[in-house]
Chain A
Amino acid sequence: MSTRSVIPFGPQHPVLPEPIHLDLVLEDEKVVQAIPSIGFIHRGLEKLVDKKDFHEMVYVAERICGICSLGHGLGYCDAVEHIMDLEVPDRAKFLRTMLSELSRMHSHMLWLGLLADAFGFESLYMECWRIREEILDMFEMATGGRVIFSIMKIGGLRRDIPDDMLRDFRQRLDSIEEGLKMVSKPFFDDVAVKNRLVGVGILTPEKADLLGTAGPFLRASGIARDIRSTGYCAYDKIEFEPIISTDCDSYARTVVRIKELYQSIDIMRQCIDKMPAGAVDVPVKPNQFPNGEYMARIEQPRGEALYYVKANGSKFIDRMRVRTPTFANIPALVDILAGCDFADVPILVLTIDPCISCTER
């Protein structure tokens, strides 16, 4: 008869600097149940609507996370712009789209590096993060920031990206693509990588849908749900198809993210080629305040993020609520942990690309 025991896992993770705790119920070396525990660093940022006006809340939204900060600013602005019926200029839409893809590349490269680190592939980890540095350099050129960008504003962007910089970006994308081809080869071909990922942590399409899963985690289970397909920003003028895999395992999640990196490069090139001229913001009058409610949704690197804003016609809004993709992916994480080997737990937690900072907004 097998022995049942409870092993506390976390809140520290071998390669993640953020806290998530799991109580793992084991039968010998098999996990039979996982009970998640978060809330170690909940910051209550949404409560700041009481003290910051609706313009200042853009900065608060950006500070939800240091990796997805651009998307959080964008999602919040999108919700308020819908409430205020502001039509963002086309150039700002294209620049927002381009920067969103740069953010996706930055996030996915970071994750690939962490995955390599988890396997003990230190040189591969460093190479992934070296490429990520090139992406951060582009962010710094475009926005002046490498973590918090402060380029989003209600009505568009705070600053334009000049055409000569966009041409430079196009050349830099070639260099990044070359680097990506080099680092993606071990992820696609290496036996050690496949041994750790193939067939591990199966999430069926039915479960993925029922559990409200989002992002690459969902698409690796064969569901082609990508919020970019709704055509927000300039995605309605960009040609792309959601990347999916029907293998449903940890390897599929890795492959989907790597293919999304190539897709992001392609989308950025399309944005640069199709970039319209013109202004990058529409002015908001000092006495113009939002009144109404709206839920915006965007495709963050880790999946669909929701931004609910309820405003009352004053400069202070009633509610900003952010549903982050990692929060949505926790139930599916718990599902894939049940039945896995204890030794696979750190890798499985990693394959959902968790962002606890977002979750603990």
Chain B
Amino acid sequence: MSIQTSRHTRRTILRGLGVSLALPWMESLAPRATAATLSAASASPQRMAFMFVPNGVHLPDWTPQTEGYGYDLPHILSPLAPVQDDVTVISGLTHDKGRGNGDGPGDHARSASVFLTGAQPRKTEGSDIRSGVSVDQVAAQHAGHATRFASLELGCEPGRSAGGCDSGYSCAYSSNMSWSSESTPLGKETNPLFVFERLFGDRPDGAVRDKNALRREALRKSVLDYISDDARRLQSQLGKGDRQKLDEYLGGVRDVERRIERTDDEPKVSVDVNYPIPKGTPDDYAEHIRLMCDMMVLAFQTDRTRIATFMLADAGSNRSYRHINVADGHHDLSHHGGNAAKHAKIREINRFHVTQLSYFLQRLKSTPDGEGSLLDNSMICYGSGLSDGDRHNNENLPIVLAGGGGGTVDQGRHIRVSAETPMCNLFMSMLDRFGTPVDFIGDSTGRLSGLRA
């Protein structure tokens, strides 16, 4: 396995150039955005992240045999051993809206677009793309104002640059999983350097601003006023479909304005965090994933955001995993036709992804936050929108939920929910704990009762 090598690489990088990041969030100033009933035990804010892997998994080596506490860790999940007590495996969840339901082929595209929305995507190559608002964006729209960035959208693959993605579905469905409105997929950032610069690059915390800097900022604000004014004038002359594009534009401008205002009155002192500036997108895939995980940890730790989504690969990805001696394309392999040799390769790919999840969870666990760790105050949902890559089925999805949710989730169990329980019911329960409850999301029919033992 290549884990040892990657660890070594990491240490090498850590010796590189570092910057100091101030932690703006201090316990005494902690905003109490979380729901009092659910998170009374925690003074720290809740964080949530969603991680997607493509092409389903090899379920026989994923699903624990036993239920409840102390479950066994099958081959694919075995890298989770160091954090098993912080991880709950949930079997039996379903994304019905990932099924064709009269729309024919296109399971891969649907598996990503449905993953956080629970909404049937409109089958279209290019006109009037429609999905639903994703769970992370529901949370971001309710609570995102508390942080400089409402949410982060990350990935390792930049999406296809040509050709078709899946059976008549625009590539927007395959390469995005966060949707801020039913027609607006949120493009993801794949370069860790750009994530880092975006999070921390705008202005050194605590820097004293002289007269010139103040004037520059004033001029920039006047530019923002000007362009939103122009956008509104333009919008009033346009037809309906075009007006919506201007809405996206105006939403972006408002976000930037809000950020400038926030930066002005954020507290400036606290603990220093040393982290090397990433050099860009590494060639090594494991390193790439881990850098992205580090970005989420840093963002949570410094309270730049509390919500993140991360596609380890795009839906239907045919990436080759030769660093773990699987040279075949992942999608190609996932159509295993029951072939044992292919199963063996698929489960190594699945295990590789879970190894990276384990790295992320361990990083969160080793980062102090309030009276516990970041992991204690997080909910990390990991899984695939397809169950088996060959059958392309959407029931009994491979899903884990990690992190204590501020003491609101009893972790360390394998729970099995009744057949056809919507995945969105899990989202409902997560949104409750995040302090942003809603009446429904996607095709939810209620809440998941089993997150408390």
A, B from the same assembly: no
Binding site for B on A (CB under 8 A): none
